[in-house]
Structure 1
């Protein structure tokens, strides 16, 4: 995002200063960037130059000899100060680096908290001039991507909480899938989201590499090495999701400030539901990305017993080298959950097949998904830091006004366009169970 201006609201200039932890302050007001260690190092160079001119004299005077002694003493003292400065600045530099890694995200979240969707709606309706943080974010997004209408960051579509008295208390959110749509089945399956300004993002996945083996005898050679190889998975701006809504003239005049929450709810619900469906069962045709069910190559048989599911989990664990069923995440239809809950494993104890599944996998790792086809379940795992799938979100929502369709009634018709892509980098982290 655009960094804060070097001018106050009054127009007076001020120095731009970075203040790190433990007092490590670096001022750029006059073009200076000077650490204590650098000052000492420069002074040491000056001393060496002065000494070089003095030691070459065979007839040095008493004053010059005293000067050499003084410079030599200062040089040795500066060496100790120089080492101490390096130690102190190294600690401060590491702490400052940690602060810088998160500072830009915090600043962006602070500015984003003031983004007003109703300003965008007013701008599209009657040409209202965007102001404040809303204008700043729109300008920044336009500088990084091509938008036909007014760009809206996805985070701004989050429904924000309010407290008593109607005071808005916006959340600070990161640009990740599960924070935008907390009820998303895809997020519970471990699908990760990547925010991309433009272009494409590639994920190289190692497919072959180091091989460990034993020497047959003393002096014997090891087996021949295998070349390190990778397969690339690419997120490209190939799929465009559109969400359309219509706002009547009466609603524009009647709702007022409530229009903010109305647009957030409608856009968030429409985009969230369709993204979730596409991630799970996208057909890969007619503009849709290829979803998990459609793109999976590892398929098994579904049966309403823990034993049948366990066999698939065991094969899944072996393929991914994981050690506990609790690392597996699962999604199934409500009908499948009902069948498991009705199947009594031990009549005497009342334990059901669902109880056995939830005991080993964990009920919190199992989502009920109405988007899945009947008798279809999904198993995923995050292995080696790699998510089972990545959802690319290219920029924000491009919000465009249709000035013609509702011109006769004075209404406002909006179209929100979002460019996305989905990639499954490693098939062994995904299994789909279907009924026999």
Structure 2
């Protein structure tokens, strides 16, 4: 029972006793002393009651904050013990799921429909340093589900925000109006007239499905559980990371692919500037200046660059100033916030010319949004490898890409990789 409730009950008893004593016309000396002690106790209890209320209010706030985050934390703990090995054996042999794996699968099925066995996205994370107690893995480190799914991916390094979506589409209203300010020319003159405030919606829609096809041989199934577990994790997470990176930046928008940032530059309103000169810091500096004049970046340190390794190979051998030892690559890395190299998210150089994508987070808004719907749906093909005793799995996930504000990205094309220019 709460202390405040106990004190309230005691106060009621004191008031009842005092009312009985106060009704007597000629109280005895003992009754007078009893009235004084009860009155003293009543005043003391009032102070204790206020203190109890303050303490209990703090406890309630702490308990409420814990309850608000308890469900997410408990689910993360369940996912930490999720075993892909159980899913593979369930699809191959019909083995029943148990422990945390069964609980996670039941929870995901209650939230959405899946033809196969649903797998939480965090289960694809590569784990290291696991210890096994009573047959249940207990990872040392547990990460959030979305923003740490592929911590080494190019999209994450370029500031893309990955968003978990349960169902339906998600839209962001972006201001498109140009509200103007003006001074009144005379004492009775009007200021600038009203400008209509307009927005446009940037949507993520579940229209693009990514599939990962896996073939697991009978030998792999008979290997130790940890070996199979880690192999499946590495294959699925590596394949998904590479394919998502490629789609985010180079998706054609056809053949089931989402429209990537670079092919969709015109659609997303991204400024694309053909350099037509040899690659250098000066060729990229103009794009950084455009960021700053558009109030999208406070300085070059707020800008990220996505480049090909061929650009590094060329610029690292070009001195910015003769005899100084300072290369053009050194100038770029010292000025920009970060430079990310990729062979997957940018097309290979054509005619000794390459492109560079620049991004910035303006006002805390990510330059690229990547929507992921639900969990990974793992489906078994029981027929293709039946004769060899193998197992074929297909992992399906739904994703989409959009850019909220095109002014947060700049594309510079035609950067020559030879001393003569493009």
- Band the TM-score falls in, shorter-chain normalisation: 0.7 to 0.9
Q: How does 1:330-409 map to 2 (within 5 A)?
A: 330-362=305-337, 365-371=338-344, 372-373=346-347, 374=349, 375-409=354-388
Partner of 1:272: 241
The answer to whether 1:207 aligns with 2:176 is yes
Q: How does 1:50-89 map to 2 (within 5 A)?
A: 84=51, 87-89=54-56
Structure 1 unaligned blocks of 5 or more: 1-33, 55-59
2:81 touches 2:138 (CA, 8 Å); kept in 1?
Answer: no
Give deviations 1:52-89, integer Å, cap 9, x for gaps.
Answer: xx9xxxxx8769xx9xx999999987876666555445
Cα offset, 1:221, TM superposition: 4.4
Cα 1:305–1:261 change in 2 (3 A) is same
Cα 1:338–1:292 change in 2 (3 A) is same
Q: Secondary structure at the match of 2:340?
A: strand
Cα offset, 1:162, TM superposition: 2.8
The answer to whether 1:288 aligns with 2:257 is yes
1:161 touches 1:169 (CA, 8 Å); kept in 2?
Answer: no
Q: Secondary structure at the match of 2:316?
A: helix
**CA distance, structure 2, for counterparts of residue 201 and residue 96 of structure 1:** 32
Aligned residues: 395
Of 393, 401, 412, the residue aligned with 2:391 is 412
**CA distance, structure 2, for counterparts of residue 39 and residue 235 of structure 1:** 56
Cα offset, 1:114, TM superposition: 0.7
Cα offset, 1:385, TM superposition: 1.9
The answer to whether 1:159 aligns with 2:126 is yes
Cα 1:114–1:433 change in 2 (3 A) is same
Partner of 2:215: 246
Give deviations 1:113-146, integer Å, cap 9, x for gaps.
Answer: 1100000000000100000000000000011111
Partner of 1:24: none
Partner of 1:192: 161
**CA distance, structure 1, for counterparts of residue 215 and residue 74 of structure 2:** 34
**CA distance, structure 2, for counterparts of residue 36 and residue 232 of structure 1:** 54
Cα offset, 1:180, TM superposition: 2.2
The answer to whether 1:263 aligns with 2:232 is yes
Cα offset, 1:301, TM superposition: 2.7
RMSD: 3.7
Partner of 1:4: none
Cα 1:212–1:89 change in 2 (3 A) is farther
**CA distance, structure 2, for counterparts of residue 353 and residue 127 of structure 1:** 60
Cα 1:200–1:83 change in 2 (3 A) is farther
Cα 1:216–1:122 change in 2 (3 A) is same
Partner of 1:119: 86
Partner of 2:117: 150
**CA distance, structure 2, for counterparts of residue 242 and residue 175 of structure 1:** 20
Cα offset, 1:410, TM superposition: 1.4
Q: Secondary structure at the match of 1:243?
A: strand
Give deviations 1:242-278, integer Å, cap 9, x for gaps.
Answer: 0001111222124444211111111111111101111
2:296 touches 2:361 (CA, 8 Å); kept in 1?
Answer: no
Greater Cα shift, 389-398 or 156-165: 156-165
1:320 touches 1:429 (CA, 8 Å); kept in 2?
Answer: no
Greater Cα shift, 102-111 or 423-432: 102-111
Cα 1:71–1:232 change in 2 (3 A) is farther
1:144 touches 1:198 (CA, 8 Å); kept in 2?
Answer: no
